[in-house]
């Protein structure tokens, strides 16, 4: 479990911005889902999630991001992605979930 968590890095930039980088695919999905607390932090308001550093993007990546967005929404917050890699953008477009992830 430690290896899968180590491959995904979650770094708080400030109260509302978080940078996510590293691998987030099928292998890391279960552990990543449980790390939502690191995304949400203690502050309220919208969450900007910079995903420019993600690699190994697949449908599990999209599932985790959607689950995090749903958890944020249940808490009255919006999750918005920035720095979206082309492969993740294409997958979100194919699945018609761009609006759910705040992808413009």
Q: What is the CATH number of domain 2-101?
A: 3.30.750.24
| Backbone φ, ψ for residue 52 (5° rounding) | -60, -30
Ordered per-residue pLDDT tens for the chain, 104 residues: 444 445 899 999 998 899 999 999 999 999 999 999 999 987 788 999 999 999 989 999 999 999 999 999 999 999 999 999 999 999 999 999 999 999 86
Return the structure tokens found at 33.
Answer: 């889902």
pTM score, two decimals? 0.90
The residue ranges of every structural domain in the chain are 2-101
End-to-end CA distance of the chain: 34
């Amino acid at each position: 479990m430690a290896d899968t968590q180590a491959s995904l890095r979650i770094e708080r930039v400030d109260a509302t911005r978080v940078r996510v980088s590293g691998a987030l695919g099928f292998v890391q999905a279960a552990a990543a889902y449980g790390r939502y607390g690191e995304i949400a932090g203690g502050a309220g308001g919208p969450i900007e999630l910079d995903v420019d550093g993600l690699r190994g993007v697949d449908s599990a990546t999209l599932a985790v991001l959607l689950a995090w967005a749903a958890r944020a929404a249940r808490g009255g917050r919006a999750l918005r992605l920035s720095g979206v890699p082309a492969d993740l953008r294409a997958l979100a477009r194919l699945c018609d979930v761009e609006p759910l992830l705040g992808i413009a």
